[in-house]
Structure 1
Amino acid sequence: MPAKSKAQQKAAGAALSAKRGETKMSDLQGASKSMVKSMSEKELHDMAATRRKGKPEHASKSD
């Protein structure tokens, strides 16, 4: 599942880092905390690897 915005892509990258043990869980904020618990490492990798070009900074509420 590709990220819909740059913010979502960044949060997935932070969550992936924590899941791999490279970042402390206490350093995470907001959506990235819940992503660690609810998504697999592969799902996080797929979302974090999304190309940023052409993505909005934040997804609209209707998405």
Structure 2
Amino acid sequence: MPAKSKAQQMAAGAALSAKRGETKVSELEGAAKSMYESMDEDELEKMASAQRKGKPEHDNNS
């Protein structure tokens, strides 16, 4: 499931970094923390690696 916005993609990247032990879980906030808790590494990688071109800054539908 690719990210719908740049903000969602960035949150997925932060959560993925924490899953991999590259950053501390305690540093996560908001959507990144929720994603960390509810998604596995493969899901986060798919969401974080999607192309950014053409994506809105924020998803207005959520």
**TM-score (ref. length: structure 2):** 0.96
Please list every run of 5 or more consecutive structure 2 residues that lacks an aligned counterpart in the other structure. none
Runs of 4+ in structure 1 displaced over 4 angstroms? Answer: none
Relative to the length of structure 1, the TM-score reads 0.94
Alpha-carbon offset, residue 27 of structure 1: 0.7
| Identity fraction in percent | 71
Partner of 2:40: 40
State the partner residue of 1:15.
15
Amino acid at match of 2:33: K
RMSD: 0.9
Q: Take 2:27 and 2:40, find their aligned partners in 1: how far apart are those partners?
A: 19
